[in-house]
Structure formats: C-alpha cells, structure tokens
Amino acid sequence: MRVAVIFGGRSAEHEISLGSADFVMRSLDPSKYEPLPVGILPDGRWMVPEDVEAVLSGGLEGAAGEAVFLPPDPAQRCLLCESGERLPIDFAFPVLHGTFGEDGAIQGLFEMADMPYAGGGVLGSALGMDKELMKDAYAAHGLPQAEFVAVRDAGGDIGGAVRTVEAGLDYPMIVKPANLGSSVGMSSARGQGELAEALRLAFRYDRKVVVEKLLDIRNLEVAILGNERPQASVVGEVTSAKDWLDFEAKYADGMSEILIPAPLDEVTGEEVRTLALEAYQILDCSGFARMDVLLERGTGKPYVSEINTLPGMSEHSTFPLLWKASGLEARELFDRIIQLGLERFAQRRALLTRR
C-alpha cells in the first residue's frame, strides 16, 4: 500500500511537522507500506522532494523536487505531477500541525478526492482546532474546564478587548490564538499592560483569541486511539521550568520533562483517562488524538483542556511515548492508525449520497 506522508504546511508549526514525518516514515512496516514523502511549502505549494533526508533535516524551502497536487476527483486518487505523470496513492497520512492541516481543511480535500486518510474527519478536526468552539462543546456537555473568555475581530481595538476580558476573568490569565497549537502566539498576563501586549501578539496569528484563567495545575496528557470504541493510554505528565508551558518550555532543551507514567494514584489516573475519552467522543473525533488535561494542585480536580487531533509524532513526542508505555510500539501503532483510517473510509463509502 502506497502511503502519502504529508508534512510541512502553511502553519506557524511547519518545522515541527518535519520531525513527525521522519519518525512516521521510518516506523511504517516496509512489508506492508511504501511511504511517499509529500511536502507542503509555507506558501502552500506541494512537492515530492528528491532528497527526503535533506528536506526533513534542513527544510523544504529551496529543495529540489517534483511539483504535485491532489485533484479533488474520486476517479483519480493520485497525485498529479507538473510533468503530467500520475503518482497513484492508496492512503494519506497527514502529519501537519496547525492551520490548513489540523483544522479540517486538508481533511475536506481528502473527502472530495475519496481518499482514505489517517486521523479525525472534517468536523472533529475543525472543532478540535478552534479553542472557542471546542470549549463551547465541552460546556454543553458539562465537562469541567478553566473559565475562559473569547474575543473576536478585536485586533484593531485592544483597549476594548482588554475591557471585555477583564469583565469576565480575574488575573492571572493565559492568552491564546483560537486556532493554533504548540503554544505559538501564547503568553500570560498578570495585569492590564501584560494583557494588552498578550492580545496584540495573539491577534497577529488569528482573528479569534481565547483567554483562560491561569490555574495552579499539573499538565497531564493522554493518548487516544480508536473510532467508535476509543482506548486511552497511560497518563503522562509534562513538567516545566516555567509556571506554564509556552513554546520555549515545550521545545528548548532542558525546559521541560515528560514523566510516563505520571505519578498519580489509581483513582485519579482513571478519572483523567475517562475525562479524556469523553472529550474525544464529544468532538466526534476518530483515529487518534492526544488529550491535554489539567489537574488543579490544591483540589486534585481534573479539567479538560485542549485536544490535538494531529499531535506531534517524532520519536520524542508524547503521543508515541505514551503508547509505547502502554505496550504499543511505533510500528504497531502506525499500522493501527492506518487500519482505523481504512475502517472509517469503508463506513463513509457505505453511506448513500443520492436518493
């Protein structure tokens, strides 16, 4: 089976995707799968690189390769090359983080092309990416979460945005673009001046910004795998040299540590896993995801946080490490992800599209 591993993308998380693609391609069972590397440049152009190792270590820009695109035509199911050559593909495995990859955009293209693919569908991906609508869905089902305020289209009126946020939340706060991950564009605020600067930064990345109450918490993570009957991994904990996980704390050497399994009592661990699975199903997710859960230090109460429907997939990423600790090695894990994608594809194809 030829698997198009699609990486890069039009996102502030472009570089993070390269490490994920490298690990996925190295981990696919060569007796079952033929990986085809497909890079998406920051400007949105697609290409099959000539030297994939050089691209994954040094980046896509300036690299040599064949320009390609995926036609939204169910009769073709291939990549069309600039030269006119067709590259048939059997399955798409996106390892795109952030906008145009994790938000339902590329999933919609796969659906139009009648292409089986890994991970969540259009709706689950879009809800999981948009922090405001994700939180609204959680609230509708009564899941515990930190207090928040969403501000839209206020980049030109930061003063008004500050007043809106202050009317709904007390300091300290965390300010985030609504549709981005890896803590890009995030910052904390402990007063009005910091809040104004944090909002200015977040509005550079998105027209919607979510502001949360900053709690004294432990950062827990759960990996989830499955469609109708998903399963949860052991719980992990990410510790940080800072009081919250910003981009530097996540990716700079020595700034954070992953504890797997997390030092939790059995009852709390099961409560966290159950909450993660409930959130996954509320958002109509499928295939796989990583769920972030906050555990308040003073009360021991878990709060559902964000879901990552295309989490990091490098050998150092939490998602594969959690499954490894749960007894599932990378080769078996990615095989299971592909099988789940094929199962969901078969279910969709069985549905009527005409009367």
Query: Per-residue confidence at 98, pLDDT binned at 50, 70, 90?
Result: confident
pLDDT score recorded for residue 246 = 55
**What is residue 216's DSSP assignment?**
-
Q: Percent of the chain at pLDDT above 70?
A: 95
pLDDT score recorded for residue 309 = 96
pLDDT at 333 over 60: yes
Higher pLDDT, residue 102 or 180: 102
Higher pLDDT, residue 242 or 296: 296
Count CB atoms within 10 A of the CB of residue 254: 7
- 53-92 confidence digits (pLDDT tens): 999 988 998 899 999 999 999 999 999 999 899 999 999 9
pLDDT score recorded for residue 62 = 85
Which residue bears the tokens 């008004």? 160
The verdict on whether omega for the bond into residue 94 sits within 30 degrees of 0, i.e. cis, is no
pLDDT at 182 over 80: no
Cα dist. 118→58, 76, 242, 344 in Å?
Answer: 26, 19, 34, 9
Average pLDDT on 130-134 reads 95
- What is the overall mean pLDDT for the chain? 93
**What is residue 305's DSSP assignment?**
E
pTM for the whole structure: 0.91
Query: Per-residue confidence at 11, pLDDT binned at 50, 70, 90?
Result: confident
Kind plus residue range of the DSSP H or E element containing 196: helix 192-203
- 19-48 confidence digits (pLDDT tens): 999 999 999 999 999 999 999 999 999 999
Write down all domains in the chain, each with its CATH number in brackets.
2-117 (3.40.50.20), 147-213 (3.30.1490.20), 217-348 (3.30.470.20)
Per-range mean pLDDT, top range of 73-77, 197-201, 351-355: 197-201
Helices (H) and strands (E) in the chain, counts: 11, 16
Which residue bears the tokens 């930190």? 146
In this structure, are residues 312 and 318 in contact, taking their beta carbons and an 8 Å threshold? yes
